[in-house]
Amino acid sequence: MKAPLALLAELTHRCPLRCPYCSNPVELTRASAELTTEEWARVFMEAAALGCLQVHLSGGEPTARRDIVAITAAARDAGLYTNLITAGVLLDAVLMARLVAAGLDHVQLSVQDAEPAGAERIGGMKGAQARKEAAARMVREAGLPLTLNAVVHRQNLHNLPLLIDTALEWGAARLEVAHVQYYGWALANRDALLPTRAQLDDATRIVTAAREAHRGRLVIDYVVPDYHAARPKACMGGWGNNFLAVSPAGRVLPCHAAESIAGMVFPNVRETSLREAWEESEAFNRFRGTGWMPAPCRGCAHAERDWGGCRCQAFALLGDAAATDPACALSPHHAMLADAVAEAGAADFRYRAFG
Amino acid sequence: MTPRFAPGVRLHHDTARQRWVVMAPERMFVPDETALEVLRLVDGARDVAAIVDALAAAFAAPREEIDADVRAMLDDLVARGALAG
* Burial status of residue A223 (CB atoms within 10 A of its CB: 0-12, 13-18, 19 or more): middle
Residue A312, marked binder: no
A355 pLDDT higher than 80: no
pLDDT band at B78 (very low <50, low <70, confident <90, very high): confident
Answer yes or no: is pLDDT of A208 > 80: yes
Angle at the Cα of B25 from the Cα atoms of A119 and B75, rounded to 5 degrees: 125
B7 in contact with A at a CB cutoff of 8 Å?
yes
Mean pLDDT, residues A57-62 taken together = 97
Q: Which helix (H) or strand (E) holds A188?
A: helix A184-188
- Residue A284 Cα, gap to closest chain B Cα (Å): 20
Rounded mean pLDDT of A269-290? 97
Average pLDDT, stretch A309-337?
A: 96
Interface touch A106/B26, C-beta < 8 Å: yes
Structural domains in chain B, CATH included, are 4-80 (1.10.10.1150)
Q: Does the pLDDT of residue A287 top 70, yes or no?
A: yes
CB-CB under 8 Å, B23 with A81: yes
pLDDT per residue as tens digits for the range A68-78: 999 999 999 99
Residues with Cβ within 8 Å of A94's Cβ and at least 6 positions away in sequence, in order, are none
Verify whether the Cβ–Cβ distance A83 to B28 is below 8 Å: no
CB A268, CB A251: distance < 8 Å: yes
Model confidence at B85, in pLDDT bands (50, 70, 90)?
low
The percentage of residues in chain A with a pLDDT greater than 70, rounded to a whole number, is 100
Is B26 close to A147, i.e. CB distance below 8 A?
A: yes
Residues A73, A55: Cα–Cα separation, whole Å: 12
Contact A24, A60 (CB under 8 A): yes
Is the pLDDT at A165 greater than 80, yes or no? Answer: yes
Say what the pLDDT of residue A110 is: 98
Confidence of residue A90 (pLDDT cuts 50, 70, 90): very high
Half-sphere exposure of A350 (CA within 13 A, CB side): 11
Return the percentage of chain A with pLDDT > 90, whole number: 97
C-beta atoms surrounding A345 within 10 Å: 11
The ipTM (two decimal places) reads: 0.88
Of B10, B16, B26, the CB nearest to A3: B16
Q: Which helix (H) or strand (E) holds A6?
A: strand A6-10
Taking an 8 Å cut-off on Cβ atoms, the answer to whether B8 and A53 are in contact is no
Which residues 6+ apart lie within 8 Å of B39 measured at CB? Answer: B11, B20, B22, B31, B77, B82, B83
Q: Å from A64 to nearest chain B CA?
A: 23
Are B7 and A83 within 8 A, CB to CB?
Answer: no
Residue in chain A closest to B80 (alpha carbons) equals: A216
b/e for A153-184, b at 16 or more Cβ within 10 A? bbbbbebbeebbebbeebebbbbbbbbbbbbb
* DSSP state letters, A14-61: --S---TT-SS-SSPPPGGGSPPHHHHHHHHHHHHHHT--EEEEESS-
Q: What is the mean pLDDT of chain B?
A: 92
Which residues on chain A are in Cβ contact (under 8 Å) with B10? 81, 105
| Residues near B40 by beta carbon (within 8 Å), at least 6 away in sequence | B11
A→B contacts (Cβ < 8 Å), by residue, are: 3, 5, 49-51, 53-54, 79, 81, 83, 105-106, 108, 143-145, 147, 173-174, 176, 219, 221
The amino acid sitting at B73 is M
Chain A residues in contact with B8 by the CB 8 A cut-off are: 105-106, 144-145
Express each pLDDT in A111-123 by its tens digit. 999 999 999 999 9
The pLDDT of A89-93, averaged and rounded, is 97
pLDDT of residue B52: 95
Smallest CA–CA distance, residue B9 to chain A, in Å, is 8
B6 touches chain A (CB under 8 A): yes
User: In which order are the strands placed within the sheet that holds A81-86?
Assistant: A219-223, A174-179, A146-152, A106-111, A81-86, A54-58, A6-10, A243-246, A252-253
Mean pLDDT of chain A: 96
Residue B1 has pLDDT above 90, yes or no: no
Averaged pLDDT, A96-109:
98
What's the CA gap between A29 and B13, in Å, rounded? 36
